[in-house]
A and B are shown apart, each in its own frame.
Chain A
Amino acid sequence: MALLEIRDLHAEVDGKEILKGINLTIEPGEVHAIMGPNGSGKSTLSYVLAGRDGYEVTGGEVIYDGKNLLELEPEERACEGVFLAFQYPVEIPGVAGTTFLRHAVNAKRKYHGEAEFDAMEFVKFVRGKAKDLNMPDDMLKRAVNVGFSGGEKKRNETLQMAVLEPKLAILDETDSGLDIDALKLVSDGVNALRAPERAMLVITHYQRLLDYVVPDRVHVLANGRIIKSGDKSLALELEEHGYAHILEAAA
């Protein structure tokens, strides 16, 4: 069974239709990349999947892990294993990373009827995860994203992903605002989380990230539709010839 099946998805924001019939299937273990020009609907797709307010689905369906995803609340989707790594992660003053993650993990455990972590056990658990990812401990002690550089914020998203162990990870322009070194660090983190039961949807402008996080499938999203799909060589083709080339061909 496919992990994610999107069928003819239509969505609008502020009354304007952005997604005009998306079709996409992702199997567990796969990494799919979505590329496309600005305004094509890439972030909209990620927010619709995560269930953000203000993004209204006007048609189509999304089957995730055999369930109707669109009927679930955002927190339910998260507990069912959907994770969105934000393009612009927001700050939460006064709330330490560990505290934030403990609430998230315990919410998921409660949802599944499992025992919750107490504060002490959790610190041990999360430190282990940080170590696996070669991430400094202090990211956990500091308030979530407060005063973090762009690179640190993206690394923090990867750490959250490692702790929450999602089935479907949606990475929204994870490479935006990163210099080469940061890009490598974040990519290492993402690659470390690849697993046969986990699928990833990597949304990006540039081919560069895909050098490090090599996709199984690449899709081009333009004007709210996927106009072309291929393997990783499609990304290289885009890099060489730009979007205009493919857009013309599709028109």
Chain B
Amino acid sequence: MVATKETVQQVRDLGTEKYKYGFSTDIEMDIAPKGVNEDIVRMISAKKEEPEWLLEWRLKAFKAWQEMPEPSWQKVAFPKIDYQEAYYYAAPKGSDNKPKSLDEVDPKLLEMYEKLGIPLREQEVLAGVEGAPKVAVDAVFDSVSVATTFRKELEKHGVIFCSISEAVKTHPELVRKYIGSVVPYSDNKHACLNSAVFTDGSFVYIPKGVRCPMELSTYFRINAENTGQFERTLIIADDDSYVSYLEGCTAPQRDENQLHAAVVELIALDNAEIKYSTVQNWYPGDENGKGGIYNFVTKRGACRGRSSKISWTQVETGSAVTWKYPSCILQGDNSVGEFYSVAITNNAQQADTGTKMIHIGKNTTSKIISKGISAGRADQTYRGLVRIMPKAEGARNFTQCDSLLIGDTCGAHTVPYIESRNPNAKVEHEATTSKISDDQLFYCLSRGMSAEDAVGLIVNGFCKEVMQTLPMEFAVEAQKLIGISLEGSVG
């Protein structure tokens, strides 16, 4: 006991590294009046120059949202959100006419992305690491997509990668066919609000037989005060295609909470594969839990085709409150769903996250590996659902959820639901709960490592299985992020 207390003090004295993305950028903004009502919904639709069918969809969603109750089953606690106290549209001035080249974009914006280490300039990416694969980037600043790189090259392969606002104009039939088909607006309160007021997001379409030649990625940055971020992403992988997509998120340090209620829909057709990775580092609030992003997102993938595959990898280190369940609906026979997650909560952060794997087709497989690390006074819950429908012959699931507790004031909980309506299903569940032992810490210290370095190393080892599934370009950054988000925690 004496040992632990001294180590606690030692590490506390190290201090916390300031959230290094906490800066805000001074740019002329075009901001809608505060609050959300039918006029705002119409205004957003008009600004985007959307067709009638989309406006009608938004309005239906808005009406449904007004009548929907707030959910109350979650383990995370937060003060009631006053939806009228936020702005629902904020865009850098002049973005009505999308810039034709990066030269037309406000240089301060570009500077900001550079500061965040995001390769907006194709030259930089090309000139970067030798032999490194190119990464196409769509940069979303507050509510609008600012620039998308490598468009021409992607077009050569028939790959469509653009903002969803643009896709509505250039490929309306595709958007109309799929939007809301995986996450209907009535799904839950936050998805419903998103359907009404979403302002941008990424749209990806991979044609039949095409293996997307590069990683696609979107960086979300919430900058303006008091705005919510409601992005909508739609990815469609046609027969025999493959795409790997990465989402990165940051936001400046502010005292108020900001809502991020995104919706991501993935559709994989016959023999198609979508790999979706997220490295989330939204502002987590200060050590006392003041401020920080509310990260309430709905992500779902439909494995519609035979032998289709969707895998989700998430590294969630930020946000004051994280509430999300990236899921897979395994409709196609022989389809595969995977979920790999590392969730870190420190100081006063909270998370209620997990996944849903719904087995419908025959011989479907799902794999869930969840690593939760809790430190400080944080609280974290893994909530998972494995549902095997009656006709899902030969269904197999493997779930492993491991929690690591650092210090003695944090919490980790597991709520696994298994519903099997088919007697031939094989469902396996393993769970462990552990602490970083003083022995392990001392072993590292005795080799010259600092306590921070040691905790980072041990936690990375703990998360290895998940980290391995991240695209290489981002694995290194994610490892560093893990170390940083645990600063000030204890062994």
Contact = CB atoms under 8 A, between A and B. Distances in A.
Interface of A: 14, 50-54, 73-75, 78-79, 83-84, 86, 89-95, 99-101, 103-105, 107-108, 111, 143, 160, 164
B414 interface: no
B439 interface: yes
Given A92-B461, A94-B462, A100 B3 contact: no
B255 interface: no
Contacts of A53: 2-3, 6-7, 438, 442
B443 A89 contact: yes
Contact of B453 (A14, A83, A101, A107): A107
B446 A95 contact: no
B464 interface: yes
B102 interface: no
Interface in B445-460: 445-451, 453, 457-458, 460
Contacts of B442: 52-53, 74
Nearest to A102: B457
B6 A164 contact: no
Given A54-B3, A103-B447, 17 more contacts: A52-B3, A53-B6, A53-B438, A54-B6, A74-B442, A75-B446, A75-B448, A75-B450, A78-B448, A90-B437, A92-B440, A93-B461, A93-B462, A103-B457, A104-B449, A107-B447, A107-B453
Contacts of B7: 53
Contacts of B463: 94
Contacts of B447: 78, 100-101, 103-104, 107, 160, 164
A84 B446 contact: yes
Nearest to A108: B448
A90 B439 contact: yes
Given A53-B2, A53-B438, A54-B3, A92 B448 contact: no
Contacts of B457: 92, 95, 99-100, 103
A86 B445 CA distance: 13
B440 A78 contact: no
Interface string B143-183: 00000000000000000000000000000000000000000
A80 B367 CA distance: 47
B464 A94 contact: yes
B217 to A, nearest CB: 24
A95 B458 contact: yes
A89 B439 CA distance: 9
Contacts of A79: 448
Interface string B1-43: 0110011001000000000000000000000000000000000
Contact of B443 (A90, A99, A105): A90
B283 to A, nearest CB: 29
A143 B6 contact: no
A84 B446 CA distance: 7
A44 to B, nearest CB: 14
A95 B461 contact: yes
Contacts, number: 87
A75 B3 CA distance: 16
A72 B440 CA distance: 20
Contacts of A73: 10, 445
Given A53-B7, A78-B448, A164-B448, A94 B461 contact: yes
Contacts of A104: 444, 447-449
Contacts of B443: 86, 89-90, 92
A93 B2 CA distance: 25
A217 B131 CA distance: 58
Most buried by B among A92, A93, A107: A92
5 contacts: A52-B3, A54-B3, A92-B457, A94-B462, A103-B449
B242 to A, nearest CB: 28
Nearest to A50: B446
Contacts of A101: 447
A227 to B, nearest CB: 28
Contacts of B451: 75
A74 B446 contact: yes
A51 to B, nearest CB: 8
B461 A54 contact: no
A105 B438 CA distance: 21
Contacts of A111: 448
A95 B442 CA distance: 15
A124 B445 CA distance: 24
A91 B6 CA distance: 22
Interface string B310-333: 000000000000000000000000
Most buried by A among B438, B443, B448, B457: B448
A205 B418 CA distance: 54
A92 B458 contact: yes
A164 B446 CA distance: 11
Contacts of B3: 52-54
A157 to B, nearest CB: 10
Nearest to A119: B476
Nearest to A55: B3
Contacts of A14: 2
A87 to B, nearest CB: 12
Nearest to A104: B447
A103 B453 contact: yes
A221 B448 CA distance: 28
B4 to A, nearest CB: 8
A160 B445 CA distance: 14
A91 B434 CA distance: 13
B472 to A, nearest CB: 13
B408 to A, nearest CB: 16
Contacts of B439: 90
B446 A107 contact: no
A20 B461 CA distance: 41
B122 to A, nearest CB: 27
Nearest to A95: B461
Q: Which 9 A-B pairs have the closest CB atoms?
A: A94-B461, A95-B461, A94-B464, A104-B447, A78-B448, A53-B3, A107-B448, A54-B3, A74-B445
Contacts of B450: 75, 107
A107 B464 CA distance: 22
A140 to B, nearest CB: 15
A101 B443 CA distance: 12
Interface string B459-483: 0111111000000000000000000
B370 to A, nearest CB: 15
A53 B411 CA distance: 25
